Amino acid sequence: MNRRTLLLSVPMLGAASRLLAQASRPMLAVRALNHMTLTVSDRKRSLEFYQGLFGWPVQHTQGTSTGLRIGAGPQYVSLSQGGPNARPGINHYCLTVDGFNVDRIMGALARHGVAKSENASAAPMRAWVRMRGADAGGAVEGTPEVYVNDPDGIRFQLQDPRYCGGPGIFGEGCPSLPPRSGVLVARDYHNFTLSVSNQERSRDFYQALFAMPLNARRGPDRPANVLALGVGSGSQRLLIEGSVAAGAAPRTSSACLVMDAFDPGKVQKALSELGVQPAGAAAGATGPLVSYVQARSVFFSDPDGILIQLQAAS
């Protein structure tokens, strides 16, 4: 082997080593986006807003949290009453995992550098298990719920695909209630957007842990600095923004819901019936109860200023 051949082989050996190391770490098979929990300042007000807008029925109650079913379920939105100093926002999102088993999941997380914590933690790369008892709408023996903080401390939850926040051992068993009357019909999630401090690090973490395919770096409905990672076998995505706004902490910054027969003008008109006013040329305006159209989507902020996106089902 001459010097040139040796030098060319070194990078290839390094890449092969990284692939072998990744292959030796177990991955978790993600099925779907399941729910998000919103920390709100006035749960009654938020409940009236979302039910008036979408007609979502109450799927469960867990202490100070109320779960509203989206479409046919089990996916839902949870409205959690924040304390006097709590900041409204998306507290966490949830992914479902095939073959849900707490020991297997915690073992896989450990092999990807996520340390186990005995209690809830704000530190990055930590995971813990909550046993939700009957007093919080869970099973008598406890419904296991796995929470994880990613490299930026952004929190997500892992559950069985049947999970609806119900009383079963897998969080199943929610009542089948008819939807209420709403002005819009949103039937499922399309994506959650994460605003991170290091895009490549976050991409590597989620791809290594869940084998999420990189679907696109940009497209007609997303800016160039957003990576789209596939969730499950359908069209759902986890979007990773390349930079955090000045002074803002990394977070789950928005959620996207899909609609049939989507028409931006009609959507904004319906939103105005609930007090959400079009922002006009001020696309991206902040503050509560405003809407704007951007790249074939309608964005609106709820009574707490939490950003929600609506788009056509693909």
- Is residue 130 situated within a structural domain? yes
Q: How many CA atoms lie within 13 A of 90 on its CB side?
A: 26
| Domain identity same for 154 and 206 | no
Beta bridge partners of 73: none
Torsion of Cα atoms, 8 then 211 then 36 then 142, to 10°: -130
Between CA 56 and CA 74 the distance in angstroms is 12
> What pLDDT, on a 0 to 100 scale, did the predictor assign at position 24?
60
> What pLDDT, on a 0 to 100 scale, did the predictor assign at position 280?
73
| Domain identity same for 92 and 135 | yes
| Domain identity same for 136 and 201 | no
Between CA 283 and CA 191 the distance in angstroms is 20
- Is residue 248 situated within a structural domain? yes
| Domain identity same for 152 and 251 | no
Between CA 311 and CA 36 the distance in angstroms is 18
| Domain identity same for 133 and 215 | no
- Is residue 131 situated within a structural domain? yes
Closest by CA to 76, choosing from 153, 7, 175, 8, is 175
Query: What phi and psi, each to the nearest 5 degrees, are found at residue 128?
Result: -150, 165
Between CA 310 and CA 224 the distance in angstroms is 20
- Is residue 6 situated within a structural domain? no
Q: For the chain, give the DSSP string.
A: --HHHHHHHHHHHHHHHHHHHHHTS----EEEEEEEEEEES-HHHHHHHHHHHH-PPEEEEETTEEEEE-TTSS-EEEEEE--TTPPPEEEEEEEEETT--HHHHHHHHHHTTPEE-SS---SSSEEEEEEE-GGGTS-TT-EEEEEEE-TT--EEEEE-TT-SS-SSTTS-----------S----EEEEEEEE-S-HHHHHHHHHHHH---EEES-BTTB-TTEEEEE-TTSS-EEEEES-PPTTPPPEEEEEEEEESS--HHHHHHHHHHTT-EE-TT-TT--SSSEEEEETTEEEEE-TT--EEEEEE--
| Domain identity same for 151 and 194 | no
Write down the pTM of the prediction: 0.90
- Is residue 8 situated within a structural domain? no
| Domain identity same for 106 and 203 | no
| Domain identity same for 152 and 207 | no
Q: Which domain holds residue 268?
A: 188-312
| Domain identity same for 128 and 45 | yes
> What pLDDT, on a 0 to 100 scale, did the predictor assign at position 26?
72
- Is residue 245 situated within a structural domain? yes
> What pLDDT, on a 0 to 100 scale, did the predictor assign at position 220?
44
Counting the structural domains of the chain, the total is 2
- Amino acid identity at 118: E
Query: What phi and psi, each to the nearest 5 degrees, are found at residue 94?
Result: -130, 140
- Is residue 2 situated within a structural domain? no
> 210 Cβ partners below 8 Å, 6+ apart?
27, 28, 29, 30, 95
| Domain identity same for 136 and 203 | no
- Asked if 278 and 270 touch (Cβ cutoff 8 Å), the reply is no
| Domain identity same for 34 and 142 | yes
| Domain identity same for 40 and 155 | yes
Last residue of a domain, one of 110, 141, 159: 159
- Asked if 164 and 73 touch (Cβ cutoff 8 Å), the reply is yes
| CATH, residue 258 | 3.10.180.10
- Is residue 168 situated within a structural domain? no
* Average pLDDT per 10 consecutive residues for the chain, totaling 314 residues: 48 48 74 99 98 97 96 98 96 98 98 97 98 97 99 99 98 94 97 97 98 73 79 97 78 97 97 94 77 95 98 90
For the record, the structure tokens of 184 come out as 């819009």
